Structure 1
Amino acid sequence: MSSEPAPDREPRLAARVAALLAPHASLLALATLLVLTSTALTVAAPLLLQKIIDEALPAHDVALLGLLCGGMITAGFLSNLTSLYQGRLIYRVGQRVVHDLRMKVYDQVQRSPLTFFASESNSRTQSILVSDIGEISDTLTFSLQSLLLSGTGLLAAVGVIMALNWKIGLLSIVLALGLSLVNRRLARRRFMLTNLRQDRVADMMRRVEEDLSYLGVVAGRTLGRTGFQRGRFLAASLDTARLTFEERMAGRTGYAWFGSALACIPPAIYWVAGTAFPEISVGTIIIIAMLQMRLTDPIENLMLVSADIQSSLAVFKRVFAVMDLETDPSIEPSREERDGSAGTPLPRPPATLELDGIGYSYPGAARPALTGVNLTVRPGEVTMLAGPSGSGKSTLGLIIAGLLTPLQGGLRLAGRPVDPRQLRGVVTLVPQEAPVFNASIRENLLFGRPDATQDDLERVLGAVRLTSLVRSLPAKLDTVVGERGYELSGGERQRLALARALLSPSPILVLDEAVSALDVITGAEVHASVLHHCADRSLIFIAHRIPVLAHEDTVVLIDQGRVTEHGTHAGLLDRHSAYAHLVRSQTTVAAPAPAPAPVPDTAGQPDS
């Protein structure tokens, strides 16, 4: 993303900002009406003061003096009251717009293709959702309110001055226009600096996310690079501070000169009125001077608000860039999902999943990740996807789970074409780095099935051999596992994620290196227990370490995105195939496994 939009894009950017406010036009109109009322009441006070000076005081008219003073008090009270309510309206509109905008950005990112999350920094998304939209909140509340108050106050003051003496009023208008033109040039630099600063803030957040995470701290300490990590954060922080200072100070020198110039106006009015316009009354001269003094704050506020709005356009640009991201059509909610009506029910198990000529390529990749993959997954069968690193096994798992849309070929369930959205309703994937949330063990499990009972939770914990661990914890199931689950070991995190997947009602499970963090003995026991627990489900294993398989289990060997061997476990071993060589090289027991039985969850077993 460029640091500053092209000039011809600015009108379109402003139009999009205006479109955000359009649904709240009625509230904004009411707020504007209250601002006009407050401004009129504010202007009334000096006019009443003019009458006091020119008429009531010289004539010693107590009744008129009381009436005029009472009018000033009433005008001041009503002005502040209307100002209070218009502020409430502006804040309400601002927060509604910010909430809507934040949800639109969240939804847009959530609907983005899976490849977006691999290439885009999560800290940048966080910066936009929190920092950028937070700045927009300030713009839509404080800046918008200041714009309305200062703008109407300036117009009202100029109008009264014009009525009292049009020559001085004309001078005021010329001055305001001149300052506005100069301010536009000053604001452009602040616009550019704001955009650069937000990029640096995102970079700094990325450093914090990487270096101060559990894995970042471990890497820095074990490799002796903590000083390097601190140094690059220091550089990012200094750069952010420098840009923030330059942004805040941009145009401040000009504003100081303008303030000094405006401060010279009242003495000049007294001098001009006393020499060139002797016929003007004392009250009129004082009121003109007061109103000219009141021009100072609105003009300076308008200059600052204009700069804030100009700089906030850079923030809006970043937010709109996210809102314009390409989305994955398969993530879009269907009409049935939006209105809550039931769609056409998918075939439930037993049902056969067929992959026909599946092909996929990642953007910018030198070769396709998958080419012409054919595969049949029958109900209750175990399928093993094997192959070297980078062969395309995990990509195939993502396609089967409906997380990637194949670029060639298609998928069928029970003979009917099925799209990625429907696949996600019948397939659950457990990746090697499965997410564990900073919540309790119970909450992590219920994420897979919110209506699961206590018995359900205990059953899946037993299946992955976590019962003893949970019982040993002070809060049992309600123990919080920490950021990314780092209160648990790597193997415990993997088993917790696997237990969550076992809770899901999906008839097909894809386990991608789901027990890679376990030792050989524990991994074999969990594998056997999962087979028993999922006897009525289709299981697809993706692993470098081949688990114990039965004779009839299906094996698919993938190399450079193509299926090079496909058959049963026993059949491929008998042919002395590449798969057989892979199994022997890992010294995996090749004998057919007996009918698996539940493995008791005993304490004291090793875990990596």
Structure 2
Amino acid sequence: MRPHSDNQYANAPVNWRIITSLIPYLNEFRGRVLLAMAFLFVAKLAGVAVPWVLKLIVEHFESVTEALILVPVALLAAYGLLRFSSVFFSELRDAVFARVAERAMRRISLRVFEHLHRLDLGFHLARRTGGLARDIERGTSGISFLLRFMVFNILPTLLEIGLIAVILLVNFSPVYALTVLGSVILYGTFSIWCTEWRNRFVRESNKMDNRSNTRAVDSLLNYETVKYFGNERFEAQEYDRHLAGWEAARMKNRLSLAALNSGQALIIAGSVTLMMVLAANQVAAGSMSLGELVMINAYMIQLFIPLNFLGFIYREIREALTNIERLFGLLEQPVKVADKPGAPALKVQGGAVSFEAVGYAYEPQRPILKGVSLEIPAGHTLAIVGPSGAGKSTLARLLFRFYDVSAGAIRIDGQDLREVTQDSLRRAIGVVPQDTVLFNDSIGYNVAYGCPGASEDDIWRVLRAAQLEDFVKRLPEGLNTQVGERGLKLSGGEKQRIAIARVLLKDPPILILDEATSSLDTHAERLILDALNAVARKRTTLAIAHRLSTIVHAERILVLDQGRVVEQGTHTELLATGGAYARLWADQQRERLE
């Protein structure tokens, strides 16, 4: 299955079940969540009590004319203490809950990372690195946002609204409580409707952001190609074209946000004005004290500050859910190559490999391999040759189980690869690929990747075997020399020898050499062939070759053409036959002479 396209979520409704899927991450720290909820309740009680104390202070001024020093100290102290408590317990709540949110981000990020590594090679060949990284980044940030604000902003705001409505209902006319509830319902309804309307602009903005970021990453990864063709201006124009789309989408997003904020402000202003008109009439009639008027005003301000924040929170939650959709979409990608339940580990006795009538197609309409059968006895080498597109590299990918065969079976020492664990299978196989890609780290790190935790002596030993020791020792920083993005600071031959050293450190019983010298000059090829021969000694080896000169001494050569085995034998036998191998040999000799 291909990764999600830009338009996959363009008009899809938000999956609110995402919220319930986060509950297990709260249960991991149930004690912390309950303690944080307790702090939250205390903070809200203190906040709701502040206007009441303010009312008592104002009423004291109404009833006496003495100096300020005669105002009851207890009221002033209570007022200050309640304000401090409201903030202090809110901070305690955040501090206690911080571990919960950060651990959830860590758990989900790790889960997505591990799942991506379980997906088949087809997914990773089709994905766009920049967009994928941005989806993960925005998704994990959205999860943290949801956990924090759903639990500690929406719930407390609703609690505060309820407390204020009860206080107004008990102490004043029911009209005040009804006005509060009505304005809250109107505000919430408008916010939800308007947010749903403008969510299309959020999605469009994210889509254009992904496209521009992906374009930038692709261009920088292909820096040398851009330079080869002098296309810097073209790349800048393409990037700017994507940025222009992002700019237009962001502008629509901003304008729709202004409309939402203006509508919310109108509802708030109208509600506060109505409440104050009602209260002012009662003060003028003598049925309400000035202190009660101040208290109602304070409650309305205190109510609409979090209510206004609630509108912001809903918008952000809606956007966060949109971002999390893509993250969870990655987790929903099916794992096409999976271990069977209870699958045993591969037991390698000698490392004999057999392909039994193997068929495979990347797409049903285009079969690649058609009934391929071959045997590689333990400790022996089989070379595979043939024209481009014949299916040579596909054989290697199937042996490493990047894909499962469509027909037939592949066995190692009689064990079907589909019946054993992938981890044990891949520990038993070493690969020297055609295009060696290195991590953007040191030479030592890249070599040690074959066996993490290997000693420095072991690293030098395999570098010596790969004929790379002298080169590394001449470098000013030795093993600490940085290789650059994808190993661009090294030559093709140096990268290939690092790949050989890495495989030597892994020390597998089975080896795949996938056109390991196809892009090298004659001198580098000779050096690497010597190293490869040393690596292949006493190992079961499948050597895929482009240059026939590199496999003339192979024990057996198999010729693949259009997904079928057309010839096999030694170099001398195949030349004598005068078939497909002889024609390939003649063509390459002619190219060398020319």
Per the TM superposition, whether the score is higher than 0.5 is yes
Match of 2:400 in 1: 401
Q: Compared with structure 1, are the counterparts of its residues 27 and 249 closer, same or farther at alpha carbon in structure 2 (3 Å cutoff)?
A: farther
- Equivalent of 1:119, from 109, 121, 126? 126
1:102/1:133 contact within 8 Å kept: yes
1:572/1:580 contact within 8 Å kept: yes
Alpha-carbon distance, 1:555 to partner:
0.8
Residue ranges of structure 2 left out of the alignment (5+ in a row): none
Q: Quick check: 1:228 aligned with 2:234?
A: yes
Within-5 A mapping of 1:206-285: 206-213=214-221, 216-263=222-269, 265-266=271-272, 268-276=274-282, 278=285, 279-285=287-293
CA distance in 1, matches of 2:320, 2:454: 47
Q: Compared with structure 1, are the counterparts of its residues 381 and 271 closer, same or farther at alpha carbon in structure 2 (3 Å cutoff)?
A: closer
Match of 2:562 in 1: 560
- Equivalent of 1:134, from 126, 141, 162? 141
Q: Which amino acid aligns with 2:390?
A: S
Alpha-carbon distance, 1:468 to partner:
2.8
CA distance in 2, matches of 1:161, 1:208: 57
Match of 1:202 in 2: 210
Q: 1:40-92: per-residue Cα shift (whole Å, max 9, x none)?
A: 11111211222222247614797871222222222223222211111123333
SS in 1 for 2:371: strand
Q: Which amino acid aligns with 1:293?
A: I
CA distance in 1, matches of 2:47, 2:455: 65
1:361/1:370 contact within 8 Å kept: yes
Mean Cα displacement is larger for which, 555-564 or 69-78? 69-78
Alpha-carbon distance, 1:567 to partner:
2.1
Alpha-carbon distance, 1:149 to partner:
4.0
CA distance in 2, matches of 1:304, 1:481: 47
- Equivalent of 1:36, from 28, 38, 41? 41
Match of 1:155 in 2: 162
Match of 1:47 in 2: 52
- Equivalent of 1:174, from 182, 192, 196? 182
CA distance in 2, matches of 1:454, 1:96: 35
What TM-score do the two structures reach when normalised by structure 1? 0.88
1:151/1:298 contact within 8 Å kept: no
- Equivalent of 2:32, from 2, 9, 27? 27
SS in 2 for 1:362: strand
1:191/1:312 contact within 8 Å kept: no
Mean Cα displacement is larger for which, 81-90 or 447-456? 447-456
Alpha-carbon distance, 1:106 to partner:
0.9
Alpha-carbon distance, 1:145 to partner:
3.4
Residue ranges of structure 1 left out of the alignment (5+ in a row): 337-342, 590-608
Alpha-carbon distance, 1:14 to partner:
4.2
Q: Which amino acid aligns with 1:370?
A: L
Q: Compared with structure 1, are the counterparts of its residues 266 and 581 closer, same or farther at alpha carbon in structure 2 (3 Å cutoff)?
A: closer
Q: Compared with structure 1, are the counterparts of its residues 385 and 14 closer, same or farther at alpha carbon in structure 2 (3 Å cutoff)?
A: same
CA distance in 2, matches of 1:344, 1:395: 24
Q: 1:138-176: per-residue Cα shift (whole Å, max 9, x none)?
A: 343356533244333333333322223221121111011
Match of 2:115 in 1: 108
SS in 2 for 1:369: strand
Match of 1:80 in 2: 87
CA distance in 2, matches of 1:82, 1:411: 64
Alpha-carbon distance, 1:184 to partner:
0.9
SS in 1 for 2:317: helix
Alpha-carbon distance, 1:280 to partner:
1.3
Q: Quick check: 1:486 aligned with 2:488?
A: yes
Q: Quick check: 1:505 aligned with 2:513?
A: no
CA distance in 1, matches of 2:19, 2:103: 19
Within-5 A mapping of 1:125-524: 125-141=132-148, 144-165=151-172, 166-213=174-221, 216-263=222-269, 265-266=271-272, 268-276=274-282, 278=285, 279-330=287-338, 346-348=347-349, 350-363=350-363, 366-419=365-418, 421=422, 422-524=424-526
Alpha-carbon distance, 1:445 to partner:
0.5
Q: Compared with structure 1, are the counterparts of its residues 388 and 219 closer, same or farther at alpha carbon in structure 2 (3 Å cutoff)?
A: same
CA distance in 1, matches of 2:524, 2:559: 25
Q: 1:528-576: per-residue Cα shift (whole Å, max 9, x none)?
A: 3321343111222112111344556111111111111122333212212
CA distance in 2, matches of 1:191, 1:29: 33
CA distance in 1, matches of 2:353, 2:339: 21
CA distance in 1, matches of 2:255, 2:41: 32
2:183/2:271 contact within 8 Å kept: no
Aligned residue pairs total: 577
Alpha-carbon distance, 1:177 to partner:
0.1
Q: Which amino acid aligns with 2:45?
A: A
Q: 1:204-249: per-residue Cα shift (whole Å, max 9, x none)?
A: 2221221112xx2222222232211111111112222332343344
Alpha-carbon distance, 1:438 to partner:
1.0
What TM-score do the two structures reach when normalised by structure 2? 0.90
Q: Compared with structure 1, are the counterparts of its residues 351 and 305 closer, same or farther at alpha carbon in structure 2 (3 Å cutoff)?
A: closer
CA distance in 1, matches of 2:290, 2:535: 96
Q: Which amino acid aligns with 1:3?
A: Y
2:345/2:425 contact within 8 Å kept: no
User: Share of identical aligned residues, percent?
Assistant: 25
CA distance in 2, matches of 1:221, 1:550: 39
Q: Compared with structure 1, are the counterparts of its residues 382 and 267 closer, same or farther at alpha carbon in structure 2 (3 Å cutoff)?
A: closer
Q: Compared with structure 1, are the counterparts of its residues 401 and 269 closer, same or farther at alpha carbon in structure 2 (3 Å cutoff)?
A: closer
CA distance in 2, matches of 1:353, 1:100: 39
SS in 1 for 2:549: coil
1:438/1:482 contact within 8 Å kept: yes
CA distance in 2, matches of 1:196, 1:516: 45
Alpha-carbon distance, 1:29 to partner:
3.6
SS in 1 for 2:367: coil
CA distance in 2, matches of 1:357, 1:205: 45
